[in-house]
Amino acid sequence: MILLDEVYKSFNANHVLTGTSLVVKKGESRVVIGGSGSGKSVILKHIVGIMKPDKGRVTVDDMDIARLKEHDLYEIRKKFGMLFQMAALFDSMSVWENVGFVLSRRGMLKPAKIKEIAVEKLKLVGLVNVENLMPSELSGGMKKRVGLARAIAHEPEILLYDEPTTGLDPITADAINDLIVSLKERLKVTSVAITHDMQSSYKIADSISMLYQGKIIATGTPDEIRNTSDPVMRQFITGSAVGPIKVEGVNNERTVNRA
C-alpha cells in the first residue's frame, strides 16, 4: 500500500504540495490527474524517495520512505518500476542493455541469459528486433515501450508512470494504454500513473484522483469522475479554458474575453 499523509513540499517560494494525501491500495491502478506544473511528478518522486517531504509522511508497505536508511531505501526501490516522461533510457547503452540493466548490475546472470530476458520483455511491450539498436535510433513511442520493458524487467510490485502518453500520437498513445492495462492484468501490480490525458485516465484507472493547488480535491472511479458536478473537475475533464482553474500565464480578463 502506498500512503501520502499530509505531504508538504516547496521549492523556494513555490509551494507545490500543500497537504497532499493519497492512499493507493495493493493491486489498485490509480491515476492522478492535474494541470501542468501542478506537482504530479513531485508526487511520484516522493513515492520512490527521490524527493523528501518538507512535512508529512510517505509510506510504502508501512515503511516511511523519508526516514529509511540509504541501504533500506535502495532495497525498497527494488519493488518499483518507473516509466519516465521522456523514457530516460541510458543513451550509452543498447536497447537490450537498457532493459537488462538491473539484472546485469545484480550480477546473478550471464549476459546471454540477460539478453534473452530482455528480448522477452521487449516482446511483452510489442517490440521485436530492436534489441541491438541504440536509444537514439528509436522513435518516441518505441522509447516509451523500451522504458516500460526496462521498468518491468526485474518484475516489480509497483509501477509508476510519469505521463505515459504525453507527446505521442493518439494511436500510439492508445497502444501504450492497452499495454498498461494488459501489464496490470498479467503482472497484478499496484500502479500510480500521473497524466493530464483524460482518455488515457479513463482507460487505465481503477480510480482517479485530481490534484489541484497542492491538494487531492477528489477521488473516484472513472465513471464517477466522468459524471462529476464539481466545477473544478468539470473544467479539467472537459478541457475548457474558462472556469475556476486559471490558465497559467494568461490573465483573467483575456480568459473571460475569449468566452
Partner 1 sequence: MTRLIERFGRAILSLLQKGVFVAEETGRIFLLLLATLRQLLLPPFGIVDIFRQMLEVGVRSVPVVIVTAIFTGMVFALQTYTGFKRFGAETLVGTVVAMSMTRELGPVLTGLIVSGRAGAAMAAELGTMRVTEQIDALETLAINPVKYLIVPRFVAGLIMLPALSVCADIIGIIGGYFVTVVLFNTSSVVYWKQTWTYLESADIYNGLIKACFFGGAISIISSYKGFYTSGGAEGVGKATTGAVVLSSMTILISDYFLSSWLFG
Please report whether residue 11 would count as binding partner 1 according to CB under 8 A: no
Place of cell 509510506: 59
H helix or E strand, kind and range, residue 59: strand 55-60
H helix or E strand, kind and range, residue 96: helix 95-99
CA atoms within 13 A on the CB side of 56: 23
Closest alpha carbon to 160 in 84, 88, 89, 215? 84
For residues 218, 43, 155, 27, the Cα torsion angle rounded to the nearest 10 degrees is -20
Please report whether residue 48 would count as binding partner 1 according to CB under 8 A: yes
Grid coordinates given for 182: 494488459
H helix or E strand, kind and range, residue 45: helix 40-47
Q: Which stretch binds partner 1 (CB under 8 A): 74-82, 176-184, 188-196, 231-239?
A: 74-82
Q: Which is nearer to partner 1, 99 or 208 (CB)?
A: 99
Q: Which stretch binds partner 1 (CB under 8 A): 72-80, 115-123, 172-180, 234-242?
A: 72-80
The Cα 47–Cα 184 span in angstroms is: 19
CB of 254 to partner 1, least distance (A): 28
Binder of partner 1 out of 81, 100, 141, 164 (CB under 8 A): 81
Window 133-172: residues binding partner 1 (CB under 8 A): 150, 154, 160
Binder of partner 1 out of 10, 25, 55, 74 (CB under 8 A): 74
The Cα 80–Cα 156 span in angstroms is: 5
CB of 221 to partner 1, least distance (A): 28
CB of 79 to partner 1, least distance (A): 9
Grid coordinates given for 130: 530492436
The Cα 97–Cα 112 span in angstroms is: 11
Q: Which is nearer to partner 1, 167 or 244 (CB)?
A: 167
Q: Which is nearer to partner 1, 93 or 181 (CB)?
A: 93
DSSP alpha helices (H): ranges in 131-251? 140-152, 170-187, 198-204, 222-226, 231-238
Window 85-104: residues binding partner 1 (CB under 8 A): 85-86, 88-91, 101-102
Please report whether residue 80 would count as binding partner 1 according to CB under 8 A: yes
Q: Which stretch binds partner 1 (CB under 8 A): 13-21, 44-52, 61-69, 170-178?
A: 44-52
Give the number of residues in contact with partner 1, rule: CB under 8 A. 26
Place of cell 492497452: 178
Q: Which is nearer to partner 1, 135 or 141 (CB)?
A: 135
CB of 66 to partner 1, least distance (A): 14
Q: Which stretch binds partner 1 (CB under 8 A): 14-22, 45-53, 171-179, 190-198?
A: 45-53
Backbone dihedral angles phi then psi of residue 111, each to the nearest 5 degrees? -50, -40
For residues 225, 228, 230, 236, the Cα torsion angle rounded to the nearest 10 degrees is 50
Residues at the contact surface with partner 1, assessed by CB under 8 A: 45, 48-50, 70, 74-75, 77-78, 80-82, 84-86, 88-91, 101-102, 105, 107, 150, 154, 160
